Amino acid sequence: MDIELQIKMNEKLFLRNPEQSELGKRIIMHSIRLIYKNGFEAFTFKKLAENMGTTEAGVYRYFENKHRLLVYIVAWYWTWLHYQVMYQTNNINDPVVKLKMIVKLLATTVEDDLSTSYVDESLLHQIIITEGSKTYLTKRVSEDNKYKLFKPYKDLCAHIASIILECNPHYRYPKSLASTIIEMAHFQNFFKDHLPSLTDFSENKDESSTVVFLEDMLFRVLSKDDLK
């Protein structure tokens, strides 16, 4: 099969759709590489333009500013991950098994998905860990939220919450638990690599310890054999 996965993005995220031109796709590709390499703070449109052999003005024709570009690639990631979740849990009936698969997808290094030619998902995953929460931890949250820029994240959260409810229909905080699992899949991995004393996993281990921690937490919380 030779299928190119196309993700339709919210039009408010860009000035000109980067998926519809070669230059646009190269902007996304090089942005991901540069942000991965130097971090979002050090990332500028000037550096990006030099790096990819175009001009600053060229980049500004696609994105209003670097924050919007970050929101774009983060939203892209959540849409892509949501698709992965749907694909990988399809035909699974047991919600427990579904949740385990989701935790694995959230917390484990992804391999580059070859059906999206200009996006390197493994770099993108690392970017989400370090820069993802910066998309909404700003004074503009509510405005950005009004434009539905965070919809992919919220949709995934809602989907996970619904499976949580399948596991235990009496649990009262499915959405908060879902957002906790999503955020911690990233934070615990970040802590493991950079501030290991905030976790119980030693630095050399891979993400499997994070997966085990999250699964343990999730299923203890959802366990029906408890007091209440």
Partner DNA sequence: CGTGAATGATAGTAATACTATCTTTTTAGA
Partner DNA sequence: TCTAAAAAGATAGTATTACTATCATTCACG
Q: Which residues bind a second copy (CB under 8 A)?
A: 38-39, 41-42, 130-131, 133-134, 136-139, 141-142, 145, 150, 153-154, 157-158, 172-180, 183-184, 187-188, 190-191, 194-195, 197-201, 213, 216-217, 220-221, 223, 225-227
Q: Could you tell me the smallest distance in angstroms from the CB atom of residue 149 to DNA?
A: 16
Distance of alpha carbon 139 from alpha carbon 133, whole angstroms: 13
147 binds, among a second copy, DNA, none (CB under 5 to 8 A by kind): none
Distance of alpha carbon 32 from alpha carbon 118, whole angstroms: 10
The reply on whether position 14 binds DNA by CB under 7 A is no
The reply on whether position 56 binds DNA by CB under 7 A is yes
Q: Which of 9, 24, 107, 177 binds DNA (CB under 7 A)?
A: 24
CA neighbor of 167 nearest in space, from 95, 86, 93, 92: 95
Q: Which of 51, 55, 138, 208 binds DNA (CB under 7 A)?
A: 55
The reply on whether position 143 binds DNA by CB under 7 A is no
DSSP SS3 for 114: coil
Distance of alpha carbon 106 from alpha carbon 83, whole angstroms: 12
DSSP SS3 for 222: helix
CA neighbor of 218 nearest in space, from 172, 170, 188, 181: 181
The reply on whether position 175 binds DNA by CB under 7 A is no
The reply on whether position 22 binds DNA by CB under 7 A is yes
CA neighbor of 63 nearest in space, from 41, 22, 37, 31: 31
Residues in the site for DNA, rule: CB under 7 A? 16, 21-24, 42, 44-47, 54-58, 60-62, 64-67
